Structures are given as C-alpha cells and as structure tokens.
Amino acid sequence: MRNLKLIISYDGTRYRGWQRLAGEPNTIQGKLESTLSRILEEPIEISGSGRTDAGAHAMRQVASFHCQNPMSCETLLQQLRTYLPEDIGVQSCQEAGLRFHARLNAVSKTYVYRVWNSEAPCVFERKYVYRMDASLDLNAMRQAASHFLGQHDFLSFCSNKKFKKSSVRTIHRLEIESVGPELRFTVEGDGFLYNMVRIIVGTLLEVGMGRKAPQEIPDILAAKNRELAGYTVPANGLILWEVAYQ
Amino acid sequence: MRNLKLIISYDGTRYRGWQRLAGEPNTIQGKLESTLSRILEEPIEISGSGRTDAGAHAMRQVASFHCQNPMSCETLLQQLRTYLPEDIGVQSCQEAGLRFHARLNAVSKTYVYRVWNSEAPCVFERKYVYRMDASLDLNAMRQAASHFLGQHDFLSFCSNKKFKKSSVRTIHRLEIESVGPELRFTVEGDGFLYNMVRIIVGTLLEVGMGRKAPQEIPDILAAKNRELAGYTVPANGLILWEVAYQ
C-alpha cells in the first residue's frame, strides 16, 4: 500500500465544484478519481484539502490517495497529464507518508479573490475575476479587514444555516492589494466555513461602497447572524491559492 | 458624416478570425458590425487595421467606420460594452478625422507570440499560449532573430502561394523574452504577410531545437521559397498587441 500526494491546478468554470456527486460526472474530484482509477487499474478515492465551490478555481489544491499499483510517480504524472482535460493540470505527484491526509493534516489555507474594479473590459481573464465598477474606498476596506484577523466565531459569515460543528476559525492574514484596475484579496486562515471567503469579500465591498462602516464588523461577528453580513460574491473570482502542512 | 475609431481587445478562441465572411456570423468584424448597426440604427461597415487569423487574439486592434448617427462616443462605448459578448471588449471609442482609415494609415504593428515551454500544465492561460516542451537554445534563436531585422522580401515566410503584390516588408524589432516557463516573441514591423509572424516563430523554434542553424536565415529569405522556412505555429499563441499611426 502506498499513499500519494498530488498538487493540482484547475479552472473550475465548467465544473460543479470539487466534490464528487453521485450521477454527476462533472466535478474535479470525480474527474481525477475516474482518471486515476483507469490509469492505476484499481478503484481510487481521493481526499482533497477541502471542497471548492462550483465555478471556483485552484492554483495549488492538494489531494492524497492510497493505491496498490507500484507505477512510479513520474510515469503516473505523465499519464495524468495525458488523460486529464486541459482545465485540470497536475503540478506534482509525490510519495507521502502512509498517514498523510490532505484534509486532516492541512494547517492553513490561502484563498485569493479577484475583483475587476473598472468599466473597462477584462477580456482575457474574464473567467477568473468578479467585475464590479462601483467606486470603492480602499482605506475603509482595509480598516474593516483588520477586524477579521485572529480567532472569531464566523457563523455570520457562513451560508450553511444548519451548521452544527464549531464555527470558530482563525484568520492569519487578510490583505487587499490594488493591481492596476484589479483589487486582489488574499485571505489565509486555519480553515473556512461554507462560503466564508465569498461573504467576507462581499462584506468588505459593501464597506468600500459606504453601505457598512468598518467598525460594524465586530458587531456583525458577535451577532452570529448571516443576515447582518454582506452579500456572497460570485464563485468565479475565487481561487484556492495554496494549502500549508506542518 | 462622422468617422469613429475603436480600440478593441478580443479573445479569438471561438471566432473564425477578424474578417467578415458571408454566411458566417462568427467573425470579430461581423460581430462588431452587426452590433454597431443595431445600436446606431444604420448599416455600419468597419475597417480593421488588418485581419487576424481564426483563433488569434488582439490586445489593441484598431478599427474605424463612418456613421451619421450623432450619438456621443461615451454612450456608444457604453452600449457596445452592454451588447458585445464578453470575449470582445471595446477599450475606447473616439472621434477621428474624416480621412482616418485604420488600415491605410497604420504605420506599424506589433504582434506577441507566447510559447509555454514546459511539461508543467498551464491551466489558466491555456487558450493564449502554444505549448511545446522541447529543449530550446535561446542564444541560437536570438542570433537567428537578428537576421530578420530590416527590409527583406518575406515571400519564404508567407502561406499564400498566389501572393502577387510586393512581399517586401520591414521588421523593426524581433525580441525573445524568457518569462518563467514562457518564451515571449515580440515582432514589430510595417506590415505582415499572411501567416508571416507564425512562420517566423516556427522557424525560430526549429533553430532553437537545432534543426536549422541561425546563419541559414539569410539564405531562406533569399530563396523566396516557403518550403525552406519552418512550420506555421498554431494561431492561439498569437496576439495582435498594438497598431501605431503617425
């Protein structure tokens, strides 16, 4: 028995998200599992570091799986690159310790969210940015962003109303860079609730538009009420950037 | 009567090239003309600075057209951005002198050709690069590139066998930059024959692979024989970068 670790990039535009769904061939996990099972000639189930939403992307998603086939990592990598569609790219394939698990061992994740804040067209990267041309107060947004840092209960920033487990998470970094007409949000934390990054970005954009004040963020967090936070920005601007392990 | 000048970006992936074709709605020119005619409520014919191939792209293509409608440039720009598909973006719309003509007045054009020279996947920009992972001798390619500079008869670098007009052109600049795993060719000249940029790049890649020597270029030019030049690289790596006017 071996345990292998993959680092994968994908353009999520035409997929129903990461997670395998019964009867739905068009998921990233499903596509990887069926391709791996065919190449390795044994049924393969992979564990990703976490799910990504329908339409969201990944630069360096991590997945692990057990298999019996002794095929070298190099050959498997070549085969995967041959058989996977061009919107799923395997960056690397490595032997991992038998106890390594892509989700359970992840200690932090970084997401990037890209906003194209201009009336000008964004032809070439249109599938990877959320377009909105409202005028935004970047200072107010950065002030609001600072309130998210550290450990908080993020229930107000979770779309899943029936969430039963702990909704306490720690955000280590939340930066907003201005790159030409683009605003780029980088969020790093120990884990994220369902839609949490997209609701945080939507809330920061509402602050930027003057609909919310930066100092409201602590109250919104304290209220544990999804209704008080901002809107959920679209998935296509979201990219899982990287996953860190100990 | 007015004369308007448009600067246009497009992702050519799903189009049959720039030029309007009878019975083929899917060309950039055709899409622009039908959209302009609908907005301005009069039949519009546009002149581009030149044709681009099926599958090739443009960052700042220039087109001009005459019309009667007094609609302001600002309103027309907004309308175009509303009605054009998201893979065609109008960067600007300006009043031009009545005698301005996007093709006849162009004094030079710059094309960029992108080669993804790595086995690693290129997921997000896959539609804008030509992938080839052969090992390439960049010095030899740069040496070969220098032989193209200046005025030459480029008949050996033209796919159109029945070309009757002058095939003499001047290349002002031909640079090869190495950007991570990417090789980026920038070619600037006073005009280009059919497939000329793509055949020059294919020839330079053959030099890079050692199939041709840099010093063969002057002989290939002198022979005026397409058979002696290299292959035509695919259109999807080609982008019309900009057009200069006096």
pLDDT tens-digit map of A117-146: 999 999 999 999 999 999 999 999 999 999
pLDDT value, residue A160: 81
For residue A118, what pLDDT is reported?
Answer: 95
pLDDT in tens, A218-232: 999 999 999 999 999
Partners of B241 on chain A (C-beta within 8 Å) are: none
d(CA B212, CA B227): 13
| Inter-chain touch B89–A128, beta carbons under 8 Å | no
Map residue B179 onto helix, strand or coil. Answer: strand
B133 is catalytic: no
In sequence order, what are the residues at sequence separation of 6 or more whose Cβ sits closer than 8 angstroms to the Cβ of residue A197?
Answer: A111, A113, A187, A238
Q: Does residue A34 have a pLDDT over 90?
A: yes
- Residue A238: its pLDDT value, please? 98
| Residue A63 confidence (pLDDT) above 80 | yes
Q: Cβ neighbours of residue B46 under 8 Å, at least 6 residues apart?
A: B6, B29, B32, B33, B36, B63, B64, B65, B102
Please state, in angstroms and rounded to a whole number, the distance separating the CA atoms of residues A10 and A61.
Answer: 8
Binary contact (B87, A120; C-beta < 8 A): no
Radius of gyration of chain B (CA): 19
Helices (H) and strands (E) counted in chain B, each on its own, are 5, 10
Q: Which residues partner with A151 through β-bridges?
A: A170
Which member of B88, B119, B123 has the closest CB to residue A87? B123
Quote the pLDDT of residue A165: 86
**Per-residue pLDDT tens listing for chain B (246 residues):** 999 999 999 999 999 999 998 888 899 999 999 999 999 999 999 999 999 999 999 999 999 999 999 999 999 999 999 999 999 999 999 999 999 999 999 999 999 999 999 999 999 999 999 999 999 999 999 999 999 999 999 999 998 877 778 999 999 999 999 999 999 999 999 999 999 999 999 999 999 999 999 999 999 999 999 999 999 999 999 999 999 998
**Nearest CB partner across the interface for A81, out of B81, B86, B121:** B121
Q: Smallest CA–CA separation between A119 and chain B, in Å?
A: 9
User: Distance between CA A184 and CA A175 in Å, rounded?
Assistant: 8
What residues are paired with B185 via a beta bridge?
A: B113, B176
Give me A30's structure tokens: 């499903």
Please report the DSSP string for A146-183 in residue order: HTT-EEEE-GGG-S-TT--S--EEEEEEEEEEEETTEE
CA distances from B37 to A8, A44, B10, B66, B87 (A): 46, 56, 19, 11, 19
Contact A123 B81 (CB under 8 A): no
